[in-house]
C-alpha cells in the first residue's frame, strides 16, 4: 500500500516520488482535509499571508460552511460567518445604533490611469505611500498596495474604493473597530475579542459564542440581504461564497419570508425604495460596496411590534400616536415573553436602564440596540422626588395612590409621583384600577426609610410589568438630597401646599363652558424649600402633553410677606382631568375625582337682594312653593380641597414639627377664597355683608376675576383674619369714577354671587338655561347707576347661565309687598297698605291697593343714617360707637372671645366708617366664638334695653312715617290699613318699639297719620314685621310671577314728595336736579324740615315719649335746638352729594325727596349729643 | 549555466535547505544549475534551525571549495551566498537575509501604528487583531503570516533584494521553500512571489523577474507541537490554519498563475515536537518530509525551461506536484520509497554514510598504520598530517550534522530509518536497513569485518586519484569507493 504525503482526501491514489497532479489544490481538496480540532477552535485563524488575511478568512469561512451543507454547526468558520452577519446586521441597523457606533471610512484610492492600476495620492492609502510619509508607513502602504494589485481578481480589489469601518464608541480603546465592509464577502469582522460589544439582535448578543446562521436572524434583515443581492450586478460572480450561502439560507426560510423575498426579487427598485442610503462622514457621501450603495434600514418605517409581548397596553380611550412603546421589566421577570424577535431572558433585566436620556423616539432597545423603538423606563413614568404633604389627602376628591399608613398617624399623604407622560398611555381611571391578577395598578408602600412606589404597567395577554422606585426620606436638614434616577433612588421631599378647586363639579356636556378657579397655597417656608415657586398645570386626559392655557394666573399673597403663604389663582375655562404641580425640586400629579352630577332637570329661581350693607339670596325650585335662603351645606360643598377638610387636619397642621403657622394653609382659603359651607348652622351665611376682599394691590387695568383677585369675605367681622385682606364695603353706592378699583370690586361681588348660584344649580341638578334670577334695585338709584348694575348682571348672567333668558330686575320696593300679599295675607282691599323697606342705605316705600302697587317712593334715609357718620363726620363723633365701643370691648376682653377685639381694632384702623364698626357690634351675637362660649353679648339687646338712644330711633321712625303720611295725603290716599316692614334696617323699628311689642309704635304711628291727615279718629291699622326682615325682599321677588312688568309700573307710580311743601309731588310737578340748588327750594325744604322737628317734639304732648317709650324728656329742648341748628348746611351737603352722584345726568326730574337730607346730619349729631349727655 | 535562487523561509525553510545540503553533499545530482544560491529569510535570527543550517551551508561551501573536482561525487553542486555574486559587494552575512529594524519592537511599532492617520489606524486595527499589533517581532511571527506579509516585505527594499535582482539572469530560476502553517514561511512565500512578479522599475532586471521561472514547495503540517508552558503555538490549529492559507493560495498563488511549479507536501499529524516560540529553542528534529521537500527542488530543476514558460508575469502552464512512497510504513526504509526516489537518494545517502562512518570511526586509527595504502601511498597522501586539518575539521563537523540529521529523521514520526550511520567496523556494510550485505561475503569474512573490505577497495582505487591534491583526492576516492561498495556489496 502506497502512501501519499498529503492531507486531503481527493485526487489520485497513485503517487510515486514527486508526481504532477491535475491541478492545484482547490476548495474541494481543502474541504476534504479532516480537521480534528479546527471545528471547535475558538482562537482566530491568522495563517493567511496577506495584510487582508481577515477578509480572506471570512471568505474561506463562507466557503467552508457552504460546503459543509450545515449552516448550524459550531466550527470556527461558522463563528466567522456569524460574526460577519453580526457586522452586516449592525450596518443594517446603524441608525438605531448611533449612540454606540460611528462609521469611519478608509479609502484605497484605487483607480486606473492609462490602463494601469494606480493609487490616488489623496486617498488614505495614497497618504501612506506619499514620499513624505515615514518609512514605516510607506512600507505598510507599499505592502497593502502590492496585495491589492496582486490579489485584485480574487478580492475584487480593482473596484475596492472604500472600506467602511464600524467604530464601537464604548469599547476599551480609543478606536474600537469591530468590523467593516469587504470587497470579498460584503462584510467582515475584527479578530479581536469583541465580547465588550453590547448589542443584541433578538436573543443573540453579537460576537458571542452562540453562532447564529442567517436563516435564524431577524426577517427584515434577511430580506434586506436578499434584496441587496438582487440589486447587485453580478453578485454571484463578485461574492460567490456569500451568494451560495444565501441560496443555502433561502431553503431554510419559512414560506412567508420566502414569498416576500421572491416578490422583492421581482421588483428592481425594491432595494432602492425600501432602504435608506448610509451617509458617512458627510451628507451625500454614501457608503458603497464595489460601487453599489450600501443601504440600511429605514427607521421611519414601522419596525413592527407583532413579535413583541412587551408593548404596553394603553387604557381605553388612549390612542398613542406613532409607535406604542414597550415597557421592560427591570425586576425579576422570567416569563418567556417574545421580545424583539427573540425571547425575553431573565438576564436581560440587568441591561434595562432606570433612565434613558434619549428622547423616546431616539431610543433603541436594551439588549437589542439595533432596534430603534421607544420603550419606557421607570424614570419616564415616575418622578425623581416624591412630595409628602403635611396632611391626609381628601381621598374622596383626589386619588391617594392607594397609600395606606401602616405605622404612625394619618397625618400625611403623598402626591402621585407620576410624570405626565404616563397619561399619554394610561388613564386616570386605569391608574386607579387593578391589573389582571387583582393587584393595584399603583401602590405607595410605607417603608422604614422611605416610600416604595410600585407601578404595574399592563401589557397584552393579561400580563403586566412591574416598575418600582424607592424614595428615601430626605436626611438633610437644610437642603434636599439629590435623587438619582439612573440608580433609581428617589427622595421624599416635604412640601407644604394645598389646592382648592372651585367649583368641585364637572359638566361633560360638549358645549358647556366651565368656569374654574384653582387656588394653590404654598407654605414652603423651611430652609430647604423656602425658595420654591409653584406652577400648576392642567391637562385634559386626552391631551396630557398639552397643558390647558389658563385664562389668567393671579398671584395674590406672598409667603415672603407677613401672610407666610403664597397664593396663586388659576382661572380656567376648560375642563381638566389631571393637575400637575411643579416646584423648584419636585413635581407630581393630582387626579381629581369629580363625581357625576345629577341630570339637569330642575328649574330654579333665585332672588338676589344686593343691599347697601347686606346682601341676601333666596331661591326656590320652580315646582315647589317653599323659598329657602341660599345655603351651601356639607352635601353640596362647592370647594374641593386637596387636604381632608375637618378638625383632624387642622390639628395635624398645628403640630410644631411643621413649623409655626402651618394652619395658614387652611386659613388662607377661608380668607381669600371660599368657605366650604355657608348656612345657618355656622357663621358664614346669608344675609352677608356687602363687602369684597382683595389684596389691595390688584391691577384694575388687567382682567380681574372673582374668586381670584377678589372674594366675598364671609368671615368679615366674624373672625380675626385679614392676613392680606383689604375689605371694601359700600359697593352699592361707591363712586367708580374716581377709582376704577371700586367698580372692579363691585362687579366681582356680583360675579361671585352668580358663580355660587350657578354651581348650586349644577350641584342640585338644575338647568342653567332655565335658571331665573331676580335682582333688586332701589327706586332712588339714579338711572345711570341702575343701568350699570343692569349691564353687569346681564353680562354675568349670560356668561354663567348660558342660554338663560330669565334675568329680571325688580324694584326693591315691590318685592316685600308680594311676600306680604301672598304669604302673610296682607290684602288691603279697603284701604291701602304701605310697605316700608328699610335697608342700610335706602328706604323704599310702596303703597298698594289690593294687589296693585299704586305708589312708590324711595329715599336715602335708612339704617346707615342712624349709625353712620352723617355728612363727612367720623366715628370719633359717632354717638353709638363712642358709647358702646368701650363697653363691648371690655365685655369681650374678659371672655374667650377676647381676640375679637382685634378684629374691631383692625377694622377701625383700616376703615373708620362707623357703619362698619356698628355692623361689627351687631354681628357679635351671631359670632361662632360668642355662641360657642355662650357669652351673653348682644348689641341689639343693649340698644333695645337701654333708653339712651331710643330718642334717635323714634326720631328716625317718626321722620319716615311723617313723610309717608304727607305723601299719601298729597296724593289723596286713605290712611293705610296695613303697614309692613322689610329690609335689614327695619330692625331699628324694634329698637324704636322696644322689642317685640310694637303696640306703642303702632299707636304712635296712628297719631302721626291722624295729625298729618288732620283727622281725630284714625281707623284701625295693622303692623307686620317678621323676624328676618332682610329676607322679605327676596321672598317677595320669588313670588312675583312676572317681575318684568315692574319696569313700566315703576315709572308710572314713582312719586316723589320733594319736601318743598306738603302738596307738590313729582310728578305731576317736574322739579329737576338742576333746580335743587336754588335758594327757593333750599329755604322751602329748610322750612319743611324745621316744621317736622317742631312737630316731632310737639307730639310728646299727644303721645308721651316717656310713657310709651321710656324716653326721658329732660333734654328735649336741647335736642330740638341741636336738630334744627344746621338744617340748611346739612341740606346743602346732601344736595351736593346727590349732585355729584348724578353729574352729567342732572337734567332729569328728582326721584328723591330732599326732606331727609338735613335729617341725616341731624340724627348723627343727636346721637352724639345723647352719648355725651350720658357719660 | 543558470543559477537557482533558493529562498528558504522560516524554520521549515532552513530545515529543508539543510536536507538539500545533505543530499547535495551525498551526491544527489541537480540538473540545469551550476550554482545554488540559498537565501534564508527568517527574522528570528537566533532560531536554532537557522543557525544550524547556516553552519552546515558554510561548512559545505568550505568543503566544496577545497574538494571539488570532476571526479568528486560528494559536495559536487556549488552553493554560493548572495555575496559572492556579481561585483562581490558585501550585502549580508552569507546566506541569511537580515531584516533591519525588526528586532526589539512590536508589530505596531514596526508599522508606526500610533502615528497613522485616524482612518488608516482604524483600518489597520480591523485588519490586524490586538495580539497581532502587540506581537513582539523578536519572536518571529508566532504563526501570524498576516503580520509577516508586512514585515517581510521589508525584504523588497533591502540591499539583498536589489542584489538578488541585479544578479538574476533570464535563465535563472527561483525556488521558494516555506511551510504554510507557521508564521514566517507562510507569509514570506506569497510575498517573495508577488514581489518578483510585481517587480517594476527601479528594481534591476525587473522584466526578468516578472517572467522568472519560479517553483516552490509549501510544506503542510507534518508534526504537532507538544503543548508546554513556553509556547503560544497551538498546533491543534495547524490544520485550520493550513486550510485557510491553502484557500488563499488557491485564489492568489496557485490559482492565478503566479507560480510555475508548486509542490505540496504534508502528513497526518502524529509527530510531536517540543514547542517553543522561536529563538534558539526552536530547533526541531529533522524529518523525512523535509528531505522529500528538498527533493522537490531537485525535481524542479529537472524540468526543462520550456516547461516553465512565463509571460507577463503569468505562468502559462503551472504545474503541481505531490509526493508519495511505495509502501506505507511507520518506519520508512529505502525499500519503501517510490522507485524514482529510491534511485535518486538510496545510493548517495548510503555512500555518504559509508564515507562519514569511516572518517568518524576509523580514520584516525588507520592513520596510525603506515601500511594503510590509500592513506600513505601516492604523491598526495591522505593521512592526518597530509590532509588539510581545517578541511578535516570541516568534514568532521559536517558529518556530525549528517549523522544528527539521519538520527533525527529516524526518531521522528514518520521515522525514516534507511541507514544506521553509527555502524562501524565489521558491520559497516549493514548500514542500510533491511538490506544486509550479501551473505556469502558475510560468511567469507566472518571475522574480518566489512571494514577490511572497505579498506581494500579504498586502497585499490586510491591510485586513480593521485593526480588530485589530498583534499580533492579524498572526496574523489571515497565517492568512487563507496559507489562500488553500494553497488556490489550492498547491492543497492
Model pLDDT, residue A1004:
93
Three-state secondary structure call for residue B414: coil
Backbone angles phi, psi at B125, to 5 degrees: -70, -15
Cell 510544506 sits on residue:
B219
Residue of chain B whose Cα is closest to the Cα of A163: B123
Any B CB within 8 A of A183 CB: no
Model pLDDT, residue A405:
87
Q: d(Cα B265, Cα A3) in Å, to the nearest integer?
A: 12
A24/B262 Cβ within 8 A:
yes
Q: Which three cell numbers stand for residue A489?
A: 433612588
What is the dihedral sign for C-alpha A134, A137, A139, A145? Answer: negative
Any A CB within 8 A of B324 CB: yes
Per-residue pLDDT, averaged over A921-944, amounts to 85
Which of A372, A318, A358, A368 has the alpha carbon at shortest distance from A338?
A368
Whether the pLDDT of residue A144 is over 50: the answer is yes
Any A CB within 8 A of B111 CB: yes
Residue B377 C-alpha, separation from nearest chain A C-alpha, in angstroms: 43
Lowest mean pLDDT among A499-513, A607-621, B226-240: B226-240
Q: d(Cα A753, Cα A674) in Å, to the nearest integer?
A: 12
Contacts of B10 (CB under 8 A, 6+ apart): B41, B42, B140, B178, B179, B182, B183, B184, B185, B186, B188
Render pLDDT for A480-494 as a digit per residue (tens, 0 to 9).
999 999 999 999 999
Res. A428 pLDDT band, cuts 50 70 90: very high
Task: Provide the number of CB pairs (under 8 Å) joining chain A to chain B.
Answer: 303
Whether the pLDDT of residue B282 is over 80: the answer is no
Q: d(Cα B315, Cα B215) in Å, to the nearest integer?
A: 11
Per-residue pLDDT, averaged over A573-601, amounts to 92
Three-state secondary structure call for residue B207: helix
Which of A525, A523, A598, A628 has the alpha carbon at shortest distance from A568?
A523
Please tell me which residue, A479 or A36, carries the higher pLDDT value.
A479
Render pLDDT for A828-880 as a digit per residue (tens, 0 to 9).
888 999 999 998 888 989 998 888 889 999 898 999 999 999 888 888 889 99
Any A CB within 8 A of B314 CB: no
Q: Which three cell numbers stand for residue A963?
A: 313723610
Q: Which three cell numbers stand for residue A139?
A: 512600507
Render pLDDT for B340-350 as a digit per residue (tens, 0 to 9).
999 999 889 98
Whether the pLDDT of residue A392 is over 90: the answer is yes
A1121 within 8 A of A749, measured Cβ to Cβ:
no
How many residues would you count in chain A? 1175
**C-alpha dihedral over A861, A866, A868, A874, to 10 degrees?**
130
Contacts of B315 (CB under 8 A, 6+ apart): B214, B257, B258, B259, B260, B308, B309
Whether the pLDDT of residue B277 is over 50: the answer is no
Render pLDDT for A67-126 as a digit per residue (tens, 0 to 9).
888 998 888 889 899 999 999 999 998 887 887 889 999 999 888 887 788 888 889 999
Render pLDDT for B160-175 as a digit per residue (tens, 0 to 9).
888 888 889 888 999 9
Interface test with A, best of B180, B187, B247 (most A CBs within 10 A): B247
Q: pLDDT above 90 covers what percent of chain A?
A: 41
Q: How many CB atoms lie within 10 A of CB B446?
A: 8
Res. B275 pLDDT band, cuts 50 70 90: very low
Any A CB within 8 A of B340 CB: yes
Per-residue pLDDT, averaged over A512-517, amounts to 92
Model pLDDT, residue B88:
57
A1/B149 Cβ within 8 A:
no
- Kindly report the pTM of this predicted structure: 0.62
B241/A46 Cβ within 8 A:
yes
H helices of A26-170, in order, are: 27-31, 53-68, 76-92, 124-129, 135-150, 152-155
Residue A234 C-alpha, separation from nearest chain B C-alpha, in angstroms: 19
Whether the pLDDT of residue A318 is over 90: the answer is no
Model pLDDT, residue B140:
59
Render pLDDT for A654-668 as a digit per residue (tens, 0 to 9).
888 888 888 889 989
The beta-carbon neighbor of B247 closest among A21, A30, A142 is A30
Residue of chain A whose Cα is closest to the Cα of B257: A24
Q: d(Cα A1056, Cα B138) in Å, to the nearest integer?
A: 129
Whether the pLDDT of residue A728 is over 80: the answer is yes
Q: pLDDT above 90 covers what percent of chain B?
A: 20
Per-residue pLDDT, averaged over A1112-1117, amounts to 86
Secondary element (H or E) of residue A688: strand A688-689
Q: What is the DSSP letter of A584?
A: S
Model pLDDT, residue B328:
84
Three-state secondary structure call for residue A706: strand
Which of B155, B33, B163 has the alpha carbon at shortest distance from B86?
B163
Render pLDDT for B224-263 as a digit per residue (tens, 0 to 9).
655 544 444 455 567 777 887 888 888 888 888 889 999 9
Whether the pLDDT of residue B142 is over 70: the answer is no
Residue A334 C-alpha, separation from nearest chain B C-alpha, in angstroms: 38
Model pLDDT, residue A777:
87
Res. A792 pLDDT band, cuts 50 70 90: very high
B248/A56 Cβ within 8 A:
yes
How many residues would you count in chain B? 492
Render pLDDT for A531-572 as a digit per residue (tens, 0 to 9).
999 999 999 988 888 999 999 999 999 998 877 899 999 999
A140/B250 Cβ within 8 A:
no
Please tell me which residue, A694 or B47, carries the higher pLDDT value.
A694
The overall average pLDDT reported for chain A is 88
Task: List C-alpha distances in Å: B195 to A146, A1109, B2, B67, B154.
Answer: 8, 142, 21, 37, 11
Cell 442567517 sits on residue:
A214
Whether the pLDDT of residue A1142 is over 70: the answer is yes
The beta-carbon neighbor of B125 closest among A142, A147, A177 is A177
Whether the pLDDT of residue B279 is over 50: the answer is no
Lowest mean pLDDT among A152-156, A695-699, B431-435: B431-435
Model pLDDT, residue A378:
94
Secondary element (H or E) of residue A516: strand A516-522
Lowest mean pLDDT among B212-221, B309-318, B443-452: B443-452
Whether the pLDDT of residue B278 is over 50: the answer is no
Highest mean pLDDT among A131-140, A359-368, A1127-1136: A1127-1136
Q: d(Cα A675, Cα A235) in Å, to the nearest integer?
A: 83
Whether the pLDDT of residue A171 is over 60: the answer is yes
Whether the pLDDT of residue B185 is over 80: the answer is no
Any A CB within 8 A of B263 CB: yes
The ipTM value here is 0.90
Amino acid at each position: 500500500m502506497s502512501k501519499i504525503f498529503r492531507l486531503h482526501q481527493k485526487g489520485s491514489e497513485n503517487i510515486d516520488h514527486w508526481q504532477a497532479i491535475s491541478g492545484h489544490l482547490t476548495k474541494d481538496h481543502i474541504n476534504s482535509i479532516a480537521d480534528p480540532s479546527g471545528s471547535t477552535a475558538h482562537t482566530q485563524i491568522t495563517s493567511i499571508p496577506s495584510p487582508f488575511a481577515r477578509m480572506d478568512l471570512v471568505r474561506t469561512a463562507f466557503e467552508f460552511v457552504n460546503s459543509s451543507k450545515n449552516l448550524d454547526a459550531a466550527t470556527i468558520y461558522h463563528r466567522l460567518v456569524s460574526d460577519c452577519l453580526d457586522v452586516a446586521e449592525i450596518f443594517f441597523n446603524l441608525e438605531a445604533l448611533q449612540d454606540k457606533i460611528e462609521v469611519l471610512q478608509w479609502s484605497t484610492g484605487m483607480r486606473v490611469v492609462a490602463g494601469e492600476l494606480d493609487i490616488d495620492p489623496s486617498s488614505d492609502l495614497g497618504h501612506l505611500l506619499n514620499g513624505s510619509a515615514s518609512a514605516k508607513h510607506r512600507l505598510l502602504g507599499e505592502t497593502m498596495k502590492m496585495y491589492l494589485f496582486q490579489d485584485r481578481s480574487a478580492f475584487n480589489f480593482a473596484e475596492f474604493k472604500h472600506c467602511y469601518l464600524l467604530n464601537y464608541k464604548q469599547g476599551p480603546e480609543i478606536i474600537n473597530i469591530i468590523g467593516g465592509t469587504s470587497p470579498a464577502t460584503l462584510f467582515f469582522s475584527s479578530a479581536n475579542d469583541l465580547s465588550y460589544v453590547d448589542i443584541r439582535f433578538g436573543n443573540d448578543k453579537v460576537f458571542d459564542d452562540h453562532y447564529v446562521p442567517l436563516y435564524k436572524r431577524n426577517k427584515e434583515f434577511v430580506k434586506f440581504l436578499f434584496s441587496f443581492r438582487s440589486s447587485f450586478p453580478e453578485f454571484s460572480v463578485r461574492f460567490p461564497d456569500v451568494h451560495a450561502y444565501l441560496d443555502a439560507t433561502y431553503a431554510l426560510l419559512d414560506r412567508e419570508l420566502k414569498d416576500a423575498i421572491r416578490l422583492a426579487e421581482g421588483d428592481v427598485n425594491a432595494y432602492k425604495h425600501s432602504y435608506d442610503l448610509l451617509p458617512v462622514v458627510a451628507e451625500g457621501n454614501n457608503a458603497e460596496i464595489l460601487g453599489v450603495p450600501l443601504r440600511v434600514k429605514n427607521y421611519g418605517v414601522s419596525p413592527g411590534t407583532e413579535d413583541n409581548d412587551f408593548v404596553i397596553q394603553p387604557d381605553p380611550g388612549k390612542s398613542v400616536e406613532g409607535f406604542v412603546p414597550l415597557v421592560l421589566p427591570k425586576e425579576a421577570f422570567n416569563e418567556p415573553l417574545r421580545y424583539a424577535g427573540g425571547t425575553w431572558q431573565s438576564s436581560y433585566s440587568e441591561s434595562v436602564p432606570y433612565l434613558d436620556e434619549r428622547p423616546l423616539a431616539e431610543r433603541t432597545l436594551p439588549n437589542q440596540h439595533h432596534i430603534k423603538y421607544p420603550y419606557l423606563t421607570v424614570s419616564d413614568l415616575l418622578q425623581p422626588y416624591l412630595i409628602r404633604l403635611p396632611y391626609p389627602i381628601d381621598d374622596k376628591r383626589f386619588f391617594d395612590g392607594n397609600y395606606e399608613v401602616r405605622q404612625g398617624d394619618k397625618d400625611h399623604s403623598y402626591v402621585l409621583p407620576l410624570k405626565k407622560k404616563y397619561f399619554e398611555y394610561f388613564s386616570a381611571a386605569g391608574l386607579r384600577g387593578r391589573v389582571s391578577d387583582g393587584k393595584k395598578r399603583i401602590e405607595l408602600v410605607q417603608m422604614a426609610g422611605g416610600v416604595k412606589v410600585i407601578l404595574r404597567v399592563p401589557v397584552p395577554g393579561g400580563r403586566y410589568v412591574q416598575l418600582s422606585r424607592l424614595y428615601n426620606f430626605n436626611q438633610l436638614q437644610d437642603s434636599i438630597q439629590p435623587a438619582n434616577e439612573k440608580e433609581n433612588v428617589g427622595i421624599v421631599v416635604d412640601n407644604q401646599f394645598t389646592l382648592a378647586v372651585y367649583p368641585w363639579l364637572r359638566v361633560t356636556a360638549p358645549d358647556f363652558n366651565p368656569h374654574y378657579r384653582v387656588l394653590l397655597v404654598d407654605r414652603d417656608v423651611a430652609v430647604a424649600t423656602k425658595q420654591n415657586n409653584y406652577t400648576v398645570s392642567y391637562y385634559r386626559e386626552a391631551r396630557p402633553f398639552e397643558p390647558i392655557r389658563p385664562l389668567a394666573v393671579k398671584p395674590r399673597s406672598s409667603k415672603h410677606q407677613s401672610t407666610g403663604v403664597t397664593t396663586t389663582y388659576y382661572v380656567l375655562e376648560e375642563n381638566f382631568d389631571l393637575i400637575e404641580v411643579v416646584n423648584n425640586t419636585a413635581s407630581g400629579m393630582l387626579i381629581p375625582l369629580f363625581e357625576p352630577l345629577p341630570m339637569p332637570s330642575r328649574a330654579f329661581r333665585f332672588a338676589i337682594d344686593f343691599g347697601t350693607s347686606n346682601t341676601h339670596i333666596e331661591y326656590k325650585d320652580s315646582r315647589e312653593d317653599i323659598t329657602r335662603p341660599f345655603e351651601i351645606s356639607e352635601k353640596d360643598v362647592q370647594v374641593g380641597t386637596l387636604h381632608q377638610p375637618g378638625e383632624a387636619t387642622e390639628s395635624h397642621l398645628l403640630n410644631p414639627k411643621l413649623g409655626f403657622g402651618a394652619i395658614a394653609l387652611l386659613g388662607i382659603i377661608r380668607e381669600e377664597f371660599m368657605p366650604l359651607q355657608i348656612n345657618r348652622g355656622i357663621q358664614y351665611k346669608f344675609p352677608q355683608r356687602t363687602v369684597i376682599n382683595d389684596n389691595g394691590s390688584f391691577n384694575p387695568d388687567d382682567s380681574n376675576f372673582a374668586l381670584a383677585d377678589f372674594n366675598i369675605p364671609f368671615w368679615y367681622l366674624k373672625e380675626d383674619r385679614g392676613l392680606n385682606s383689604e375689605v371694601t364695603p359700600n359697593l352699592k353706592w361707591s363712586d367708580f369714577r374716581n377709582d376704577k378699583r371700586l367698580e372692579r370690586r363691585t362687579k366681582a361681588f356680583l360675579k361671585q354671587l352668580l358663580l355660587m348660584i350657578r354651581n348650586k344649580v349644577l350641584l342640585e341638578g338644575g338647568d342653567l338655561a332655565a335658571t331665573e334670577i331676580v335682582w333688586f334695585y332701589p327706586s332712588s338709584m339714579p338711572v345711570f347707576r341702575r343701568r350699570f348694575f343692569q349691564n353687569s348682571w346681564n353680562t354675568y348672567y349670560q356668561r354663567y347661565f348660558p342660554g338663560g333668558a330669565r334675568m329680571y330686575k325688580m324694584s326693591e320696593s315691590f318685592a316685600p309687598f308680594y311676600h306680604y300679599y301672598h304669604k302673610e295675607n296682607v290684602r288691603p282691599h279697603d284701604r291701602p297698605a304701605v310697605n316700608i323697606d328699610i335697608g342700610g342705605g335706602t328706604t323704599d316705600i310702596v303703597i298698594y291697593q289690593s294687589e296693585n302697587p299704586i305708589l312708590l317712593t324711595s329715599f336715602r334715609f335708612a339704617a346707615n343714617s342712624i349709625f353712620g357718620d352723617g355728612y363727612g363726620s367720623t366715628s370719633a363723633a359717632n354717638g353709638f360707637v363712642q358709647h358702646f365701643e368701650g363697653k363691648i370691648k371690655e365685655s369681650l376682653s374678659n371672655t374667650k372671645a377676647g381676640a375679637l377685639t382685634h378684629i374691631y381694632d383692625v377694622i377701625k384702623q383700616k376703615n373708620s366708617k362707623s357703619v362698619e364698626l356698628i355692623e361689627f357690634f351687631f354681628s357679635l351675637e351671631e359670632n361662632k366664638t360668642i355662641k360657642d362660649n355662650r357669652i351673653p353679648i348682644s348689641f341689639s339687646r343693649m340698644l333695645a334695653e337701654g333708653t339712651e338712644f331710643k330718642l334717635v330711633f323714634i326720631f328716625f321712625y317718626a321722620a319716615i312715617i311723617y313723610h309717608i303720611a304727607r305723601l299719601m295725603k298729597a296724593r289723596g290716599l286713605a290712611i293705610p290699613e296695613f303697614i309692613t316692614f322689610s329690609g335689614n334696617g327695619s330692625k331699628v323699628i324694634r329698637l324704636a318699639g322696644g322689642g317685640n311689642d310694637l303696640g306703642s309704635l303702632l299707636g304712635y304711628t296712628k297719631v302721626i297719620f291722624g295729625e298729618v291727615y288732620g283727622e281725630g279718629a284714625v281707623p284701625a291699622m295693622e303692623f307686620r314685621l317678621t323676624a328676618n326682615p332682610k329676607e322679605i325682599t327676596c321672598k317677595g321677588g320669588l313670588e312675583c310671577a312676572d317681575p318684568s312688568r315692574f319696569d313700566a309700573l315703576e315709572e308710572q307710580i314713582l312719586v316723589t314728595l320733594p319736601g318743598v311743601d306738603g302738596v307738590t309731588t313729582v310728578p305731576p310737578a317736574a322739579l329737576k336736579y338742576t333746580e335743587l340748588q336754588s335758594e327757593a327750594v333750599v329755604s322751602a325744604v329748610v322750612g319743611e324740615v324745621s316744621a317736622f322737628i317742631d312737630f316731632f317734639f310737639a307730639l310728646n304732648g299727644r303721645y308721651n315719649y316717656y310713657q310709651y317709650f321710656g324716653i326721658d324728656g329732660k333734654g328735649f329742648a336741647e335736642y330740638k335746638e341741636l336738630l334744627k341748628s344746621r338744617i340748611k348746611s346739612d341740606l346743602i351737603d346732601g344736595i351736593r352729594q346727590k349732585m355729584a352722584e348724578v353729574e352729567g345726568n342732572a337734567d332729569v326730574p328728582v326721584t328723591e325727596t330732599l326732606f331727609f337730607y338735613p335729617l341725616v346730619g341731624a340724627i348723627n349729631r343727636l346721637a352724639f349729643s345723647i352719648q355725651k349727655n350720658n357719660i | 549555466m543558470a543559477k537557482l535562487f533558493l529562498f528558504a523561509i522560516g524554520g521549515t525553510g532552513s530545515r529543508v535547505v539543510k536536507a538539500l545540503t545533505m543530499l547535495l553533499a551525498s551526491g544527489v545530482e541537480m540538473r540545469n544549475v551550476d550554482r545554488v544560491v540559498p537565501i534564508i529569510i527568517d527574522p528570528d535570527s537566533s532560531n536554532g534551525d537557522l543557525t544550524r543550517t547556516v553552519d552546515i551551508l558554510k561548512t559545505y561551501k568550505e568543503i566544496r571549495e577545497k574538494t571539488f573536482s570532476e571526479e568528486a561525487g560528494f559536495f559536487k553542486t556549488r552553493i554560493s551566498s548572495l555575496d559572492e555574486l556579481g561585483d562581490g559587494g558585501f550585502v549580508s552575512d552569507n546566506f541569511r537575509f537580515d531584516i533591519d529594524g525588526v528586532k526589539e519592537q512590536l508589530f505596531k511599532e514596526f508599522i508606526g501604528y500610533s502615528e497613522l492617520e485616524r482612518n488608516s489606524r482604524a483600518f489597520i486595527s480591523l485588519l490586524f487583531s490586538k495580539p497581532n499589533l502587540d506581537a513582539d517581532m523578536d519572536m518571529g511571527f508566532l504563526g501570524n503570516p498576516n503580520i509577516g506579509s508586512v514585515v517581510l516585505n521589508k525584504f523588497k527594499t533591502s540591499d539583498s533584494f536589489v542584489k538578488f535582482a541585479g544578479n538574476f539572469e533570464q535563465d535563472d530560476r527561483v525556488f521558494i521553500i516555506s511551510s504554510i502553517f507557521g508564521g514566517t514561511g507562510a507569509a514570506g512565500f506569497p510575498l517573495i512571489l508577488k514581489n518578483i512578479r510585481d517587480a517594476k522599475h527601479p528594481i534591476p532586471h525587473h522584466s526578468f523577474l516578472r517572467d522568472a521561472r519560479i517553483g516552490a514547495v509549501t510544506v503542510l503540517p507534518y508534526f504537532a507541537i507538544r503543548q508546554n508552558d513556553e509556547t503560544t503555538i497551538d498546533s491543534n490549529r495547524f490544520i485550520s490554519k493550513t486550510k485557510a492559507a491553502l484557500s488563499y493560495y488557491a485564489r492568489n498563488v496557485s490559482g492565478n498563475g503566479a507560480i510555475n511549479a508548486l509542490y505540496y507536501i504534508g502528513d497526518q499529524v502524529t509527530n510531536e515536537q517540543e514547542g517553543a516560540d522561536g529563538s534558539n529553542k526552536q530547533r526541531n528534529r529533522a524529518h523525512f518530509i523535509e528531505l522529500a521537500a528538498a527533493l522537490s527542488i531537485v525535481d524542479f530543476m529537472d524540468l526543462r525551461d520550456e516547461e516553465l514558460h512565463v509571460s507577463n508575469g503569468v505562468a502559462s502552464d503551472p504545474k503541481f506536484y505531490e509526493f508519495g512512497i511505495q509502501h506505507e510504513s511507520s518506519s520508512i526504509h529505502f525499500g519503501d520509497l517510490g522507485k524514482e526516489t529510491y534511485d535518486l537518494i538510496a545510493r548517495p545517502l548510503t555512500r555518504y554514510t559509508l564515507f562519514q562512518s569511516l572518517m568518524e570511526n576509523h580514520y584516525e586509527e588507520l592513520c596510525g598504520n603506515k601500511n594503510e595504502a590509500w592513506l600513505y601511498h601516492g604523491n598526495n597522501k591522505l593521512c592526518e598530517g597530509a590532509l588539510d586539518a581545517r578541511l578535516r575539521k570541516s568534514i568532521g563537523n559536517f558529518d556530525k550534522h549528517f549523522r544528527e540529521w539521519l538520527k533525527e529523521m529516524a526518531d521522528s514520526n514518520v521515522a525514516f530509518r534507511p541507514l544506521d550511520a553509527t555502524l562501524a567496523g565489521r558491520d559497516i556494510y549493514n548500514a542500510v536497513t533491511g538490506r544486509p550485505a550479501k551473505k556469502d561475503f558475510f560468511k567469507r569474512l566472518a571475522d574480518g569485518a566489512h571494514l577490511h573490505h572497505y579498506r581494500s577497495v579504498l586502497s585499490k582505487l586510491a591510485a586513480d586519484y593521485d593526480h588530485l591534491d589530498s583534499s580533492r583526492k579524498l572526496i574523489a576516492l571515497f565517492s568512487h569507493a563507496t559507489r562500488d561498495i553500494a553497488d556490489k556489496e550492498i547491492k543497492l
